[in-house]
A and B are shown apart, each in its own frame.
Chain A
Amino acid sequence: MVGVVIVAAFVQTLVVLQIENRRGATAAAIDRALWRHENQLHLGRLVVELESVHRSCLVTGSPALRAEYGRLWDLYERTVTLLPQYIDEPDAKRDLASLDGLIREWHLDASLALMPQAGPGLEASRWLEAASEPRMRLIRSELDRLETRERNRLTEQRTTANRQALQSTLLTLGIPAVAIVMLLLLVAFVARILLDPLAAVAKSARQISGGNFDVSLPPASRDEIGALVHAFRDMTTAVQRRQREVTVALAREREQSEISAALRTKAEREHQRLLATIETVPVALVIVDAASGRIALQNKAAGMLVGHEPEGDAEREAYWNAFRVTTREGVPLSVREWGAQRLMLGAVIVGEELVVHHPDNREIPILVSAAPLRGDDGTIVGGVVAFQDITSLYEVDRLKSEFVSIVSHELRTPLTSIKGALQLLLDEASSAHPDHVMLMNVALSNTDRLVRIINDILDVSKIEAGRLELHARPHEVAEVVKLSLQNVEQIASGSLITLTSSIEAGVPAVHVDLDRTIQMVVNLLSNALKAAPPRSEVTLSARRHGDDFVAFDVTDHGKGIPPEKIGLLFQKFQQLDGAITRKARGTGLGLAIVKALVEMQGGCVSIDSEVGRGSTFTVTVPVAGTVARSQ
């Protein structure tokens, strides 16, 4: 490419140089022609002057003129000697030589005529006319001819020079024109070779910028353009790869955002559902923000504590500040100390009873549960507090207490009378009819049973209410055994069952509530007596159980209890195999009470039973510490 340009420039230079050369030659030729022409004219003039001087000299004979003539002739000689150097053409040389010959002939005659002996005058002029005149005419005509020819030649050379000048101009202008054309062709060529791939690259670049990456690039040549195409192709590949990555990433991101949008929607739905649930549950719910200590959310039930719902944050704040809270016993407490501190430590508060004191002096008992709310990082950011107005529960509790009171007093009072009357009657029944005595005994035993049921119910209700108080003191095991046996003696004596007892030697004293311990043992003995078949034996034995306990075992030889029924034994109002044992009905509360009483005293109850062989119920009670050590 570059080479082509250099060659073109070189060619142009050569052409121009050659043209300039020719122009230079032509100009030199013109100069020579001019000079020749000038000399020829000079020669002509010299000839005219020679003749003129010669004529004058002839006429005057003046030596000065003669000298002048000589000088002119010398001049002519020099001129004519020089002149041939400037004449290239052979014919011109020949013409000049013949002219010179004519002039010399003329001069020869003229010189002779000037000789002093020839003298001046008519003779001379005659001679002139006769001898020199024809020659001079010939010379003149020859000079004219030569001069004309020179002029023509000069004109011709001028024309040539002009033509050459034109040529030169044309060439000077034309070569660049050709060069331009060549350059244009070169450009076109370069454009094809160079710009086409560039254009293709540009087009591809536009396509790529337009987002179309499926571009085809021209085959790469092995030059700079090829390198460019290669580079561009590499770049395109890289961009395509990047684009694919971006597309994949975008698709993934879109997918992610769709998923997160779906999750958001779902979460929103769940949130709405939860809000609706929170709003509708009858339990008051309050969510407290730990940072601000303010209520973040409360439901309708929370706002309805005093019958109307507060609106707006300020009213809500005032609403909650209006309450004073105490424990059930009336001890004032700070909600902050009671709840906030525990919640911030991560504690869960379950079912605590508090009393809200309303400004209008109403007292609203509430049952409160609360749990901390944790943020994403596990720190506690607040708490949810749930509470319920348990006025109605208090009312129920009051009614229950009232009922228990009625049972304990109003129901037992008539029973006391019936029992007392029957006892007094039976005491003086020696004269009565045996059937009457039997009937009075039926009435009395059933009265006893009613009293026991009432007592058991009272015990259970006390146990459940947590109002059963135990007063543990050290007691000898023998005392417990003796008093327990005394209690059931009457029942045992009425049956054909042998009641025996044994106390392990060295058994320590126990630390128990005597009445309640006797109650437990009696309950077990009563059950055993009921379960025992006639003429069998029921035994009560006391023994040491480990270092810290004394065990009371009550064994019968009844039917035994199937393993699957054992779990039912300690439930309230459960009576096993009722149909058969009906004749010695219990309350169904005995074992439940035993379990509660023994556990309240730190012991436990267990059962070892085998169907067909009988059962052993065992209660353990703690050893009296000091007594245990002393023995």
Chain B
Amino acid sequence: MSQDLTLYLPLDSVAVSLGADDVAAALQDAAKQKGVALNLVRTGSRGMHWLEPLAEAEIDGVRQGFGPLEADDAATLIDALTSSAEAAPKAVGAVEDIPFFAQQTRLIFERCGRNDPVDIDAYRRDGGYKGLAAALTQAPMAVCETVFDSGLRGRGGAGFPAGIKWKTVSGAEADQKYIVVNADEGDSGTFADRMVMEGDPFLLIEGMTIAGVATGAMQGFIYLRSEYPIAADILEKAIKAARAAGMLGANVDGSGKAFDIEVFVGAGAYICGEETSLLNSLEGKRGEVRAKPPIPALEGLLGKPTLVHNVITLCSVPVILSHGAEHYRDFGMGRSTGTMPFQLAGNIKHGGLFEAAFGVTLGALVNEIGGGALTGAPVRAVQIGGPLGAYLPPSLFDLPMDYETMAENGAGVGHGGLVVFDESVDLLDQARYAFEFCAEESCGKCTPCRVGAVRGVEVMDRLRAGVDPELQKDVVGDLCELMVDGSLCAMGGMTPIPVQSAMKHFPEDFQPRPASDASRVAAE
């Protein structure tokens, strides 16, 4: 007797790295053996990493989850889902009722994990392309106004109001303009861009298309980091599908407007996540920062007006157009409107992606939602916003996550990544690492970053070795001041943030240490 069974299993990089492809193969084998006609739909991830690989089956109209699965679980799962006799292994209940998921406000990641990401019909059925439809009925400047009114700010880290950029590019006179997506997601502990590109690529395509329509750009580029092969594959397929469906090309959705997209895979430099380096790299040049002015919105790619946005920024646009600026603005607090996909990583029990309106507290994210450190030890520090973000202690866990509050406390939301450390962390090590990271990834153009980062590592080593510690602290202070005020871009300018936050909030780690301790560390 043949039975039909539809199962959903992520193709997302995290799920795959945790064995999703093995599980998929095992499920197919088991289904074959048992004579079950298995329709295995590979989807994006729901973003609950501790449950991956997380398979889903729709039972009575509700998606039920099973995870984290191993290949060995496949046969039992097939049995359980085809004959109600057996209890399903690792059942986690209705996926969208899991508290981690249920507490989220998913404006961006709404669809992610539900459908085959390259199925454009599924995207449409699930509410996709409504934003573009709305945009195509409006004048370009009106679209820019809507984005401006929504209060949307760049999600790449700088938090610059998106609408201002849109209006600038839209108003610039040029024979050619470009939309460039910064998908060079290189911050440690971040993965929101990847997840949405792998799980819901049409959302990005729609956001880019709206931007093209609004600014008059007819060509978009997605600058994708080379470490994301699955995303590259999904994006290529989705772009092809969108072209086939008439949603990209010379006549987008019959509007008479042209827009198309090309994926460009980078060459592995962190600095190419900085927008001007990215543009140089996209032009085939050395990935080196450009001085501003001119701003890319006026003279960007190949000297033409260019709207450069992070993936998440553009993925926030469709909902703004489909539901209106006011609807979007109702989420968040103050000048931080809308939602942010926080990415919980590091030493944390429930790591993953948590999309929430701005204003959620740091402590809630780390302890309540994330469940504290995976080791069970007390959390001692959280680094917010990537490797150039601040280290904050538990005493600041009451702070709400929004651009202004973070800035007031010497930190930044950045790209929404939170890396959690328990009490075993050595903040001097972390401060040294910040310089080391900068030295490794600096493009080498400006002096404070090129030479300063290397000297920063050396000074930290002297500090750790107890060589004239007060002098070293003075030197670090001056160096940090120079890097903040003097660096050409945010790479060098933000390197002092982890250093100085660590020194400020964890001064005990920078005190002279017992000789044995210092020599131990130095010998490592």
**A and B pair up:** no
**Interface, chain B (partner A; CB < 8 A):** none
